[in-house]
Chain A
Amino acid sequence: MAFRYEVRLSGSGGQGLILVGKVLAEAAAIYDGLNATQSQSYGPEARGGASRSEVIISDGDIDYPKAENIDILLALTQEACDKYIGDLKEGGVLIVDSQMVTKIPEGNFQVVAVPIIQSAVERLGKFLVSNIIALGIIIKLSGIVSEDSVKHAIRSRVPKGTEEINIKAFYTGIDLAQNWLDQHGPLKH
């Protein structure tokens, strides 16, 4: 039976979550030969400063474009976390920026809290790459798409001249996730 993996990336406008959605979907569809759809918030919420992007990855057909049983929810703001936590499936993974999301909702899911934005600023001197750090964390924790494919997709989606810093950010995310796994043990799948 075909698998269906749903990722929701949420936060506020300007955090680059739409780009992460595109990269993840293209990594899966173009470079890993999987099926993928990507959607993004279009409604008034997007115009009010919130941002949401969803990626569904499958090795079969994707007959419904909307994510409703989320495997991984990334929340870079408290508001996004509170708003979307209800769609996270039982046993799913909630990844949050530990500084931006301080009130973790209760529920039957696994929580990965990592200082994403702070790491972007402190390790790479650039707030703008926090989205790619988050992508690295997602890839390391989910293993849904290969690291090589994501690297290709990143290179194909960022402006010329910024490829290397974005790849560094990606590996920073992988490092952060690995550290988290070292401290907390593997996630339950």
Chain B
Amino acid sequence: MIHTVDFSTIDLFGRVSALGNHHNKHLLNIEKNFDALVSLIDAKHLFDQFRLLRFSSQPAREMRLIQNFIRDRETLLEMLGCYYSLQFLLMNIKALDVLQMYLSTPTDRYDNFQRFLMRTGSDFRLLSGAYMAVLLDIFLPENSRPDFVVCCVGTRVDQDDIDLGVIDRGTEDRPIITSAFGQLNREMLKNASALHFHLSEHVGRSGYSASIAEYHELLDAEIQDFVILSEMLNAVPILGQQALFEQFRAEILDRYYYHPANDNKYHEGCLRGLLGEIRDLIMKEAPENILNPKRDALRMLKATLFAMKTWKGIDRNTTLEVLDVLLKTDLSNRDDYLRIHRALTFFETVRFLYQLIVVQEEDIYLEDKNMSDHLQKVALAMGYEDKSYAPAYTQLLIHYQDLQETARRGAERLIGQINKHLQSITIFNSITNIADKSVVPESEERINIAKEFIRKSSFFRGTRFWDDVFNRLDRDNEILLNMFISDFTNLPKDQMISLIKTYVRWGRLSPYSLISLITIIVKHRTALAESKFIRCFLDEFIADLQSTHENISRLCHILNFAPRMMNNFLALLSEKHLEHLIQIVDQPLWRPDIQMLQDNLLILCRLYKDSSYYFQRFVQRVFNSYAAYISTLKNEPKFAQIADGLLRNLDNFDSIAERIEKLGDYYDFEFLRLGIKMISGGSFEAVNQQFTIFSDNFIQILFDLCREEIAKEMNDAVLETRDLLAVFAAGGHARSQSFDDDYDLIILLNSDEDKMLRYANRIILKMNKHIIRRSIMTHYRFADRFKNYVTTFSNLKEFFSKPDESAFIDMSQLLGARMIVGSAHFKNAFEKEIVIPFIFNQKADFINSLKNEIYSRQNYHLTSTEIDIKECPGGLRDLENFLFILKAHFSIVRPISEKLFKQLLQLLPYHQAQIETLSNNYFLLKHIRDLYHLMVSDNDELQTDHLMVIISPLNKSRGLNLQTAAQLRKMIESLLRENVALIAQLFGAVESD
């Protein structure tokens, strides 16, 4: 009887066509060889011995049967390959069917995923192990076989490749093993899964295997690459001599486990490697358009469990088996293990099914046009169903995000515990404990701990986790830190530089550690920021940084993970450092996962580089308090929303002190936001308008809060101040001028009661304290003259009744002031009792005084070659004084603003062109001044050398085409000359009016 196998009964081809294209090679194999295989089996009357329509539970036995009856080697290899291919397809079909069956039961979804993964992993190992065993019998017959053991070192369920480690005795007959594995490798690539030999590529000299002696040679002196350790510790012997593996375990593997009371430096190295990997993974911001289960969760979870395995001495191989033990034995962390279980089984299943159904790749590109179809298949296979509210794949994606968070939460506390364990066993305790000794006897020479750290850390080369050691430096008592610093700074200069260079080389693979070290030092010793020691550290570190993709990624990830630390680090860098860093980072990467981070890092670097010290203070302060918002640097509307949120959130704080503190943060945040907008070439008018709104908000709310606080101090004996007390902004703030480094205030009280004056003074005193804390200098007009923060109407009346020669300046301040706090009633009283009688009604004297002032200033500055944009002829002061003259002349109360210019246009209809030019010039000069303050210095004397930096935002905002600093200087000079001429012309017009 000739047997046939009818695959249509199980719809083999139909089922396989729904899987990924990589199954094609198996179909090709079957198409090519299956009929021949069946004929051969049939010819030997062995048909009943084979299972060809269901996954075989004894693939090794069936392959050996094939091996027994085919003599021709080439045919044998083809038939074995064909058999493997068939069983591989049947195995995967079985896996999918069994998963559906599991998921239809009422048991926990994640338990079902676990059963599925373990079952499928066992089946795959059964099949691939059998295939490799039979092939090795062919390529390396028993009688010529040297001692060796083959270990699986990868994830059991992973079908994309099989990671192997081959251990031999390093004898002269190794070439036999090498040759056999070469042939095995070829057959596996053709018919099964590619083999990868990471261990033997790194351990030993050549070939596919390495001896225990070679492992000793590589790993005894240094911890090396932790991926080697992970693979080794994952090793499960599948073929060869178990005894050899036991020897390997005893001599090599065992030392990476924790042994109380013994030397644990190998275990420590293993933990440093794993924690470094976990930290690196946590640092990364997952791109929103690419899923990658390995990157998004699996590596972190596996590394965490692996660390627990070596700490607790768990003798299990797969991650799920280790987790099972921990769930049963470490009950205090059970909730975290349950979280990890959910995440681990979910992500492992998503990855497995995606690779089975779609493609054997790690990245899942969500923007791909076919991706929703592909993910839908994965979701359905995982038991999701389309619902009216969302299709299956959408539910899968939502769970994906949720479980990413679950994974992180599950791992976080365990990582903390592993870190503590590391602190308790580290060999660095011998250094850090020096600080705990009360006094080191003078006779005893203390070791140089800065040098000793480097010496000891050489064993751990390749690992990147040093947080535990640096946390000791970061302690409040600073003893260790002081010792560490002095061990650098007490060295002769050349030795100090040499040691710094050693540290920089040490930190090449982990700039995080170096940045962390530098910022810890400066955090505790602010004065060192400008010291030779730190300058030299920064010089060497920045000079050593290469513009490589890895370095750019690392820096971007540090910004993502530790934005505050990165912000504080950038604040330490000089303009030259920042320029170099920008050159390094500003390279095309084609990496969507770090594009956004790269942009933010560049913006932050440029912000520091292109800012005056004055503005840098705001940048540093805001991002020190609100570092997470660095991620919104590119998103100005979002930044504005956050500022609004800070303002609206004030009422949610219970204490006034907290509200005041947060109000200050709001001020800084808005100052920063608008500063960035301005130096990015934003609209001058819009920035000024918004600046006025927030700075007024700040003063108004601060006034209210301070009044409330004083009322509390006075046991709520509140005095009614509404129509009696007012706060006026004078100077630049009155004219809605942004980014002034000081705040001119006039506090007016329309009452002569002592009690009221004392009360008002207390409020303003408190306000002043809080404003100064924001590094804003406050000036109280009249405070010196009347010896009070608060000036009463009576004070003013008395003074203006007998004015001295400088009274016109005080008058102009009052005339230019803008009320921020106070009632309409107060404003009317102020105008009626002060402005009209003492300024408008005596305007001739006032105007004359101002006119004289303008001319005398022009004469005074005549010979100056420097441009003081405020004080020089035609500068802002002249323009403002001239505008006060016009205001007094026409009895206008309105502060200087665009509206004032519009009003003047109507009042001087024959001089519209001059007024318009004056207006344009005024706002352009103010714009230049603002940019100069933000980007160069808060000085009004413009240095031509530094004008270049403000050209770009000025061009962008005003549609100009300035190319050089000289051109800008020329333009400013021309504006100033024009202003002098215009003022002279308009004086004439006003006088003849």
| Chain A contact residues, CB within 8 Å of chain B | 12-16, 18-19, 22, 25-26, 29-30, 35-40, 42-45, 47-50, 61-66, 77-79, 82, 99-100, 117, 127-128, 155-163
Contact = CB atoms under 8 A, between A and B. Distances in A.
B interface, over-half SS: helix
A58 to B, nearest CB: 9
Nearest to A76: B590
B359 A158 contact: yes
Contacts of B21: 155-160, 163
B368 A162 contact: yes
Nearest to A127: B590
A65 B197 contact: yes
B550 A37 contact: no
Contacts of B462: 44
A138 B280 CA distance: 34
B25 A30 contact: yes
A49 B202 CA distance: 19
Given A13-B591, A39-B197, A48-B280, 8 more contacts: A14-B363, A25-B194, A29-B190, A39-B198, A44-B225, A48-B554, A62-B185, A65-B200
A163 B370 CA distance: 12
Contacts of A19: 361
Contact of A64 (B163, B178, B358): B178
29 contacts: A14-B591, A14-B592, A22-B194, A30-B189, A35-B182, A42-B231, A43-B198, A43-B202, A44-B227, A44-B509, A47-B227, A47-B277, A47-B280, A47-B299, A49-B550, A49-B553, A61-B186, A63-B179, A63-B182, A64-B178, A82-B548, A128-B368, A155-B24, A156-B25, A159-B20, A159-B358, A160-B20, A160-B370, A160-B374
A128 B359 CA distance: 14
A158 B374 CA distance: 12
A137 B759 CA distance: 83
A63 B207 contact: yes
A114 to B, nearest CB: 15
B553 A42 contact: no
Contact of B185 (A37, A117, A158): A37
A37 B368 CA distance: 30
B182 A156 contact: no
Contacts of A128: 365, 368
B548 A78 contact: yes
B196 A62 contact: no
B591 A12 contact: yes
Contacts of B185: 37, 62, 65
Contacts of A157: 21-22, 359-360
Contacts of B175: 63
B549 A79 contact: yes
B359 A48 contact: no
Contact of A12 (B200, B360, B369, B549): B549
A44 B200 CA distance: 16
Contacts, number: 150
A12 to B, nearest CB: 5
A36 B201 contact: no
Contacts of B299: 47
Nearest to B28: A30
Nearest first, the 4 closest Cβ-Cβ pairs linking A and B are A161-B370, A79-B548, A42-B198, A156-B24
A21 to B, nearest CB: 9
B206 interface: yes
Interface residues of B, number: 61
B593 interface: yes
B25 A26 contact: yes
A63 B194 contact: no
Contacts of B373: 161
Contact of A66 (B201, B225, B588): B201
Interface in B933-988: none
Interface in B332-391: 358-361, 363, 365, 368-370, 373-374
Nearest to A49: B553
Interface in B1-49: 20-22, 24-25, 28
Given A29-B190, A42-B198, A65 B590 contact: no
Given A39-B197, A42-B198, A44-B226, A64 B589 contact: no
A43 B548 CA distance: 18
Interface centre among A16, A49, A50 (most CB of B within 10 A): A49
Contacts of B227: 42-44, 47
Contacts of B206: 64, 66
Chain B CB within 10 A, most for which of A29, A42, A45: A42
B183 interface: yes
B882 interface: no
A30 B225 CA distance: 34
Nearest to B29: A30
B550 A62 contact: no
Max count, chain B CB within 10 A of own CB: residue among A15, A39, A47, A65: A65
Contacts of A155: 21, 24
B550 A48 contact: yes
Interface in B192-230: 194, 196-198, 200-202, 206-208, 225-228
A173 to B, nearest CB: 17
A38 B182 contact: no
A37 B186 contact: yes
Contacts of B231: 42
Interface in B506-520: 509
A174 B207 CA distance: 35
A82 to B, nearest CB: 8
Contacts of B197: 39, 65
B186 A99 contact: no
Contacts of A48: 280, 509, 550, 553-554
Nearest to B23: A156
Nearest to A60: B182
Contacts of B363: 14
A30 B588 contact: no
A18 B201 CA distance: 17
Contacts of B280: 47-48
A61 B179 contact: yes
Contacts of B591: 12-14, 49
Nearest to B374: A159
Contact of A159 (B179, B183, B228, B370): B370
Nearest to A54: B201
Given A66-B201, A99-B588, A38 B548 contact: no
A47 to B, nearest CB: 7
A141 to B, nearest CB: 23
A17 B4 CA distance: 43
Contacts of B183: 61
Nearest to B231: A42
Interface string B564-602: 000000000000000000000000111111000000000
A12 B20 CA distance: 25
Interface string B278-301: 001000000000100000000100
A162 B364 CA distance: 13
A53 B804 CA distance: 86
Contacts of B593: 14
Contacts of B554: 48
B101 to A, nearest CB: 26
Nearest to B556: A49
Nearest to A12: B549
A13 to B, nearest CB: 8
B20 A35 contact: no
Given A40-B196, A44-B226, A63-B207, A79 B550 contact: yes
Contacts of B369: 161
Nearest to B178: A63
A42 B198 CA distance: 7
A130 to B, nearest CB: 8
A14 B589 CA distance: 10
A127 B163 CA distance: 30
A25 B374 contact: no
A78 B299 CA distance: 28
B946 to A, nearest CB: 32
A30 B186 CA distance: 10
